[in-house]
Each structure stands twice: as structure tokens, then as C-alpha cells.
Structure 1
Amino acid sequence: MSLHPTLQPYADAWTHSVEAISELVQPLVESEWNRRTPCPGWSVRDVVSHVIGLDCEMLGDPRPIHTLPRDLFHVTNEHQRYMEMQVDVRRHHTAPEMTSELEYTIIRRNRQLRNESRDPGTKVRGPLGTEQTLEEAMRYRAFDVWVHEQDLRTALGVPGNLDSPGAHIARDELLAMLPEVVAKDAGAPPGSAIVLDVHGAVEFLRTVRVDAEGRGSIDGAPSLGPAVSLMLDWETYVRLACGRVTADAVADHIKAEGDTDLTAALLQSFAVTN
């Protein structure tokens, strides 16, 4: 048996992004590993440590036994504490140690994926002791690794892969969370519609509709009288939705029409990742 067809796109996207990360960091000198990335509180080394650590968890490796320092001000909740453990334990690793562990982890994960014969619905270990399906875990790894590839590209000044396989998985992941952002977090009123028009490397138009009970749903049909229309480029959308920038910082990349209060609430609630 081999990898289930449902899982293949996630494996392909993960491979594409993680190999891009490896190519990006291979030539870096020691000081470049300390560059700040758009991911709050994390350097280039920290982002790569996170990628290594979560793929080690996908391999079933035990989590490190490690006490976090008290002065990590970007760590404010249990989810962030969980993610920080794999990062902080590698904070003093040298460039050769980082690149060699990344390469070894990629080799191990590729071997695991070649031999993966489990059903997509198989339950696997998730963060903070949760359970998730194998499909959910692989989809989120593809999304996560692509986002962190973009973090590294921004930090190192090497743009690219905004339309790679991982980008399309990221689009679907972010759009799946948008109805809750609109209906619950931003408080769009029942019966209203919000149109999102994204252009650039990945282009799409989506409408989030809030029903009479206040529940949000999303589709690709335009709305004739939306409460708010947002037009922005793909890179800005990703950076906003992943909490890498504030709406104020990229205001010149966003065109908004409609209810100004609702627009402000939407942009305030736009980030969906920790």
C-alpha cells in the first residue's frame, strides 16, 4: 500500500516547502540565524526549530523535557507555551547543528511518507494532548510549513513561492476560518454579506454570508449588496490572516468599501493563527 490519494497533495506541498526552507538556510552564516522574522518573537533559528520540532512530533518522537525561561514575553497562552518548547530547546544550537538536524528530519519524514498506508481518518496525536485525524494533521503541517517558509523569505529578503502547492492549501485553510471571523469575532449582523476580493499570485473572490441565526458560511458567488467589500493582494491577505502585520501597517494595500465600523471590526479580528 502507499499514501492515500486524499493525503498526497498535503505530502507534496509539505515536501515543496520544507525543501525550499532547507535551500534558504543552508548557506546562512551564524549571525543570519538570529535575524528577526515576521512571526512574533521568533528568529530565523526559532522558525526552523519549530519546523523541525513539529515534524519530529509527526514522527512520534517524544517531546523535549525542558523548562521555559520566564522572560519570553511573546508567550502568553498554553498553545504558545506548547509550541515554544521545541523552539527554546534549540536556541543555542549552531548553524551546522540546525542544518544537519533539519536535513535528517526531512529524510526521516520522507521515509515515513513513502511508507504511510494509514487511512486519512486515523486518529493521531495533536498539540496539547488533543487528537486529530491524519488528514487534519498533514493538511495543517503543509499549511504551517508554507507560512513559515514565507516568514523566512521575508526575513532573508528572498521572496518567492507565493503560488506554490502550499499556498493553495494555505488559501483553503484561511478561508475555512473566515466565516467565524466575520460572524462571531467581528460581529457582522444577521442577513449581511462580506465580500473578499484577493488578487496577485493566488486570486479568488469569496462571499461570507451571515444567516438569520448569526452563523457564517462562505461561497464563491458575488453579493449584490455586501455590507463590506475588502480588496487586497494575496501576500497582504496572508500576512494579515497569520498575524504577521496589523491592518494599520498595510492600510495602503487594502481597499475597503461599505460599513466603516464593521470594516474596522473585521480587520481587527482578521488574524486566525497564534
Structure 2
Amino acid sequence: MSDPVVDLLESVWVSIAHLGADLSNEQWDTPTECPGWSVRDQVSHITGLELMLAGENPEPPATEGGLEGIAAFNEGQIAPRRSRPGAEVLAEMNDICARRLEMLRGLPEEKWDEVGFTPIGDAPYRTFMHIRVFDCWAHEQDMRRALGIPGHLSGPVVQHCLDWHTRNMGYVVGKKAGAPDGSTVVFDIVGDADGPRAVAVADGRAKPSAPPDNPTATVHADVDTYNALCCGRTDPSGALAGGLVTVAGDIDLGERVILALPYVS
């Protein structure tokens, strides 16, 4: 039996395929919030990584400009596809993603538990695939914001990605924002089917907890804004000034948390 994460991957890939199906050439060239990346480039990025994970793309082409590491890898996938029609790039993504789903559904249980490289360090392969769901959905939202075509802001994939953000909120609240011992920050996100989430600080450690009746600070935003802030796509100061994200309770702490939200590198 394959891991449930496979169904989430299929859902996000199908959503991206539907988004791209009717785009014009001009829309494929639309710049996104990822510097230097167009809508086409976002799809190329997803395609390149899945080809690598399938073992079909172990050494991407060399790039210019002195890029190293993941930046060099990303550009190596994107640059050769920039001259290709968006529909052709999308077809390539659909092809590799279909083959990846077949591979994942046939993966033995021991392979899911096998520890190896992931973007957050060595971890089980299962963890890598959970990260892939988040990464693909985040890039889908990059495309949607650029195109002005909102969508896929609810459902199992979105809840999975909100869970991923929650996993990292202890770092944001405790380390980056410096919330003091005894404080609790609640994230009240419109569109989160699981309701408000909280991070409590005790004995110098910040970790997810049940939302209390009287939190120290509460951060209010919608799913798209919250995700864009966490991914570093939206400027926190601008979001505060524009009322896209608001604070109740301890204003100083809440605003420090909002300014610290960008954690995805």
C-alpha cells in the first residue's frame, strides 16, 4: 500500500495541470514573485525536480553566473525550457508526474522509511514527499497570484501545507520573534478547516499547543496571505500596512511574529 501522501501529490499536480491547460503564450511569460521566474519557469522547476527524483536527470546542464547548489540546479532545469512553449513544458510535467505517481504507488514500504537527502537534511523518503506536496502547492500559488487566477485554497493539500507551516511556527515565534516565556500566539487563518492554531512558549521552548481562551497575541490572515508571508513572497510590513494581516492582543509581539513569518528559504 502506498503512502497517503501520493494522493496529495496527485491532487496538486492535477490542479497545476488544470491551471495551465488554457494559458496563452503571454500568460506563460508572466513574471511571478520568485525573482526572475515566469509562470513557465515555475512549471519547469517542478518538472526538473521530478525528473531528478525519477533518476532521469541526475546532472542538470551547467549554468552561467556562478550559481551553486540548489540555485544552480534550479537554473539548470529552467534555462533550457525558457524558449519552449508553455503548453509543451506543461505536457512534459504531466508526463513525468504521471510516471512518478506510478513509481510511488509501487514503492516498497522499506523505501518510504529509507533515510536520505531532503531539503531539510537527511530524513526518510516519506518526509521528502511531504515536502514535495508543500513545494508544489506553494509554486502553484505563485502562479495563481501572478495570473490573478485564485484557486486551490481549500482541501486536503491545503490542510497538509498548513500543517507544514505549523510545524515551523515554533522557530518563527520563539527564535525569530523572541516571544517570551509564558506567552502564546494564536494563528487564526480564514480558510483553515482545522481552526485556530497556537504556539506556546515555556521553559525557553516554543511549540504548537491547543489555543487558549486568552492568548497573548492573535494573528489574523487568510490562507493565501499567510502562506505568501511564510514563503517570503509578500512583504510583512506591506501586508500589515495594507491590512492583509492584523493583530489582536499584544500588538508589539504580534507584529514581531508577522515580521518573522518568512521562513522558507
TM over 0.5: yes
Is residue 20 from structure 1 mapped to residue 10 from structure 2 by the alignment? Answer: no
What's 1:234 paired with? 223
Is residue 123 from structure 1 mapped to residue 108 from structure 2 by the alignment? Answer: no
How many residue pairs are counted as aligned between the two chains? 262
- The 1-side partners of 2:35 and 2:258 are apart by 18
What's 2:236 paired with? 247
Structure 1, residues 18-37: CA drift from partner, whole Å, max 9, x if none?
Answer: 11111221222322211012
Q: How does 1:10-89 map to 2 (within 5 A)?
A: 10-70=5-65, 78-89=69-80
Structure of greater relative contact order (alpha carbons < 8 Å, 6+ residues apart): 1
Q: How does 1:85-100 map to 2 (within 5 A)?
A: 85-100=76-91
CA contact (8 A) 1:37 1:152 kept: yes
What's 2:253 paired with? 262
CA contact (8 A) 1:193 1:223 kept: no
Identical columns (%): 30
Q: How does 1:195-206 map to 2 (within 5 A)?
A: 195-200=186-191, 202=193, 204-206=195-197
Q: SS at the partner of 1:218? A: strand
- The 2-side partners of 1:218 and 1:106 are apart by 34
- The 1-side partners of 2:227 and 2:36 are apart by 18
Q: SS at the partner of 2:123? A: strand
Is the alpha carbon distance of 1:85 and 1:223 closer, same or farther for their aligned partners in structure 2, counting shifts above 3 Å? farther
CA contact (8 A) 1:162 1:235 kept: yes
Tell me whether 146-155 or 170-179 shows the greater mean CA deviation.
Answer: 146-155
Is residue 219 from structure 1 mapped to residue 209 from structure 2 by the alignment? Answer: yes
- The 1-side partners of 2:33 and 2:201 are apart by 32
CA contact (8 A) 2:119 2:128 kept: no
Structure 1, residues 179-233: CA drift from partner, whole Å, max 9, x if none?
Answer: 1101001111222221221223645212211112x21111123152x33221222
What's 1:148 paired with? 139
Segments of structure 2 that go 5 or more residues without pairing to the other structure are: none
CA contact (8 A) 1:202 1:234 kept: no
Q: TM-score scaled by structure 2? A: 0.88
- The 2-side partners of 1:166 and 1:147 are apart by 11
Give the Å deviation of 1:265.
Answer: 2.2
CA contact (8 A) 1:14 1:146 kept: no
Is the alpha carbon distance of 1:143 and 1:248 closer, same or farther for their aligned partners in structure 2, counting shifts above 3 Å? same
CA contact (8 A) 2:219 2:246 kept: yes
Calculate the aligned-residue CA RMSD, in Å. Answer: 2.3
What's 2:153 paired with? 162
Q: TM-score scaled by structure 1? A: 0.86
CA contact (8 A) 2:247 2:255 kept: no
Amino acid at match of 2:157: G
Structure 1, residues 81-136: CA drift from partner, whole Å, max 9, x if none?
Answer: 443332234222233431231122122112212312233322244359x5331210
CA contact (8 A) 2:114 2:125 kept: yes
Amino acid at match of 2:221: L
Q: SS at the partner of 2:88? A: helix
Q: SS at the partner of 1:68? A: coil
Give the Å deviation of 1:78.
Answer: 4.4
